[in-house]
Amino acid sequence: MGTLSLAVHVDNIGWRPADTKVVVLLGHAGESVEIRRVSNNSVALTVTSSATTLDEDSQDQVSQADFSSLTTVGDYYAYLPGAQLRSYAFRIAPDVYDVVARVAVKMFYFQRCNQARVLPFANDVVSGATTAGGQWVDGACHMSDLALAAGPGSANDGTLDLRGGWHDAGDYQKTLWGRGVPELLFAYELHPTAWLDSQLNIPESGNGIPDLLDEVKYELDFYVRMQRPDGHFLTSAKGRAPASNSIYSPPSASNEGRVYFDVTAPDGNGWSGGGVTIATATGNAVLSLAHAATVFRSAGQMTIGNGYAAAATLGWTWLAGQNLTGAEQRLKAAAASAVHRMDSTITSARTVTESFAWDTFDGLIPYQVTPGESVLSTGAFHLLLNTSATTMVKNKARTGIAAGVVTPAFQQAGVYSGLFGAPGNNWDTGWGSNRSQGAYGAHLLMAARLGVFGSQTQAAIEAQGQKYAHYLLGRNPLNMLYLTNMARYGGEHSSFQLYHAWFSYTGGDGDHGNTTYNGKPASAVEPLYPYHPADTQTSTFGPAPGFVVGGPNPAYSGTYAIPNLGRPAYAYRDFSVACAWNGSACTGSSWEITEPMAAYQGPVVLLLSLLMSN
């Protein structure tokens, strides 16, 4: 009933019955808003919208209509009877986020390196969705990883077996950024009843271990292979495609030459360690492996957990001996926190943890969830979960989290969600802004769960944290659900085009799309597609579902048209054009807006996990 309109913004997935539920309207102040049942268009509730207010991140003048009193399970849409406009459909149910969270974790299976993606696993079947809408099948890729040599300019550790792990982003490199792992481990640890065996339809399903932990294990086993005898970790295993006739898609056909790096600096010929120093790679690995040891042991997987503990301990021995500064020093402190929690008898980790200024750092607030890796927040959360940590150091962590996570989130609270900074400074609204949205929400819900309230109430913190989930799932200026191909899961207006070497390239041509995976599949009903008149691509299956795209980026450097580029929350286009070389520069550069990355995926999984049912 009515005309589907982008002026009516809802969470396109929905809400849990007890949640605060708000429709955001572009204008339409003081009007009646009906919440109607999808089944028969009958009115379930009528409310009146508020006066308009300015949203800083979008520059929208918006009103709001609160329908929190509606708690009956069912499928609904918001309707403006005066203008005869309607929203996308949404659902109210206790388990409304469950299948979305599972699909978001299944994304990592499609990012596995050196393993064939085969049926029955390489489809979009997860628990809660029993019929496949597509398939993403490919043979094992980059098998030279089983016998890799050192890259140019790198220390030579001989030929190494570095199989496994995830492709870090839309390309095929494997780099020890530590991206995604801490968040997936916290997702299980803080809500273990939500994550079970046989939920994700992956090769390990049915082995008695929760599928989420199986997926993390695939990445962590690669970390262990990257460790050297003295405890430090290599920085990356990656490649550089040949200068011409490059093949990118599918991954199994990729002809890039692959090497590993035990060094940070590039050699000047296009090879690089991935921008990660040895100390950073080791800190990230130790932080993740120590956490994994704690989590796998708690899940009854003692052999696996003990193996990770041994690797983390050896890595910490190396890291403890390094005199580090700046970001590396902060990472060392976070790793020490995870190690001390894993094993309270490691006195060097306890010393670093207790001597670090968790409440202040050189006069700065170090916990703000910026587009960095947020390692200090991770370390602080480990302190609060550590039964062996002293009250003094826990209080420092509480002070830091309250000052750097909770308080600023309310100072910057916008109508849709709220990010730090102003429209002109691009602090959190630049490259990877969806990672910031996921991290804000996840860290607020973790703070509420762990009793860090600052000057707010637990209920207020939880409501603010949930706003970031609503933003990512459709209640944003563009009505975008910032995950790929979600129509089968009730997720209208999701992404159908992203920068991804497998899904958007055709062989060596990244500029003209892939008819199998790039674009809306015919099975997806989406009346407002294409979202931009130039992006009309359709495909057989669309991209694999659940990939979190980078998000709005007002700092986009290409020349392709991005409507309203100067309004940060609007600076998005759902497109996949790669370089589009004009002879002197890349003009497409879609990777700045739509490329996925483990660093984006992890925070969103954690946020959704904290909203799942039991």
Round to whole Å and give the CA distance between 269 and 282.
25
pLDDT tens, position by position, 572-585: 999 999 888 888 88
Residue 322: pLDDT above 80? yes
Residue 352: which of 384, 367, 330, 385 has the closest Cα? 330
Q: Which residues share a beta bridge with 174?
A: 237
Q: How confident is the model at residue 370 (pLDDT cuts 50, 70, 90)?
A: low
Residue 12: which of 106, 86, 108, 104 has the closest Cα? 86
The CATH number given to 3-92 is: 2.60.40.10
pLDDT tens, position by position, 223-238: 999 999 999 999 999 8
pLDDT tens, position by position, 150-164: 988 889 999 999 999
The secondary element (H helix, E strand) that includes residue 442 is helix 433-449
The secondary element (H helix, E strand) that includes residue 292 is helix 278-298
pLDDT at 360: 78
**Between 412 and 12, the higher pLDDT residue:** 12
Give the domain ranges of the chain.
3-92, 98-240+248-475+602-609
Distances (CA, A) of 147 to 151, 218, 259, 319: 13, 18, 9, 27
Residue 160: which of 212, 107, 229, 91 has the closest Cα? 229
pLDDT at 516: 94
pLDDT at 371: 46
Round to whole Å and give the CA distance between 595 and 120.
27
Lowest mean pLDDT among 76-80, 192-196, 335-339, 585-589: 585-589
pLDDT above 90: percentage of residues in the chain? 77
The CATH number given to 98-240+248-475+602-609 is: 1.50.10.10
Amino acid identity of residue 495, one-letter, is S
pLDDT tens, position by position, 254-281: 888 899 999 765 544 555 556 789 999 9
Tell me what the mean pLDDT of segment 287-315 comes to. Answer: 98
End-to-end CA distance of the chain: 35
Round to whole Å and give the CA distance between 372 and 49.
37
Residue 243: pLDDT above 80? no
Q: Which residues share a beta bridge with 77?
A: 36
DSSP state of 356: S
Residues in the chain, overall count: 614
Round to whole Å and give the CA distance between 426 and 414.
16
Residue 306: pLDDT above 80? yes
Lowest mean pLDDT among 250-264, 378-392, 519-533: 250-264
Task: Count Cβ atoms within 10 A of the Cβ of residue 40 and give its class: 0-12 exposed, 13-18 middle, 19 or more buried.
Answer: exposed
